[in-house]
Amino acid sequence: MSHEDTLTSLFISLRSSLALTVRGIVPPKEVEDIVQETYVRAFQNTKKDAVQEPRAFLFAIAKNLALDYAKKAETRLSSNIDPAEALENESLRVNPTLDDAVSSEEFSIFCEAVRRLPVQRRRVFVLKRVYGYTQKEIATQMQISEKTVERHLSLAMQDCMEYIQPAHQMSKNDKRSSLEEAGQ
């Protein structure tokens, strides 16, 4: 089996683990692109040099690509935010420790809350919170007033919180019940 074939079969076996690694660093829609780019970069490198630890090499490439993406997104985000909004957006920055702070279950609940928003409200929310657009940029792109953008953001937050709080409470109760059953 050639070195490239070994790398390909290793990549295929690690694909979901690589995706999990980058999922905590980048937005969900970017995960697949970064995983694919990991393979391309690894394959290009193996043509030049022999890799001693291909598994570690793949994970290092994936993590570095994800961190590069996050750094670029954060730079773009910070250049679009005025100082008054900086504190509000501090908790929304993409960083490698997000996986530690938010469980995949909580993230799924949040995604479902956003998915349930009315289309225009969801679009405004995603443009602001995920892509870091300013309210003025959103208003221009969507051809609505800045006041309407502000209203959509406010309502989106209310709607999400109304969905998340009961879902989060149910999740905590389910976990508590499971722990109690396991303890008996």
One-letter amino acid for residue 168 of the chain = H
Residue pointed to by tokens 């309210």: 135
Q: How many other C-beta atoms are found inside a 10 Å radius of the C-beta of residue 168?
A: 15
Q: How far apart are alpha carbons 156 and 15 in whole angstroms? A: 34
| CB of 118 closer than 8 Å to CB of 151 | no
pLDDT at 163 over 60: yes
The pLDDT tens digits of the residues spanning 7-27 come to 788 889 999 999 998 887 888
The pLDDT tens digits of the residues spanning 25-78 come to 888 888 899 999 988 888 887 666 677 888 888 999 999 998 888 777 655 544
Predicted pLDDT of residue 112:
84
Give the whole-number percent of the chain exceeding pLDDT 70.
68
pLDDT band of residue 148 (cuts 50, 70, 90) is very high
Predicted pLDDT of residue 175:
53
The most confident of the ranges 81-90, 141-150, 159-168, 172-181 is 141-150
Q: Please give the full DSSP string across the chain, using - where no structure is assigned.
A: --HHHHHHHHHHHHHHHHHHHHHTTS-HHHHHHHHHHHHHHHHHHHHHS--S-HHHHHHHHHHHHHHHHHHHHHHHHHHH--HHHHHHHHTT---TTHHHHS-HHHHHHHHHHHHTS-HHHHHHHHHHHTT---HHHHHHHHT--HHHHHHHHHHHHHHHHHHHHHHHHHHHHHHHHHHHHHH-
C-alpha 38 chain-centroid distance: 17
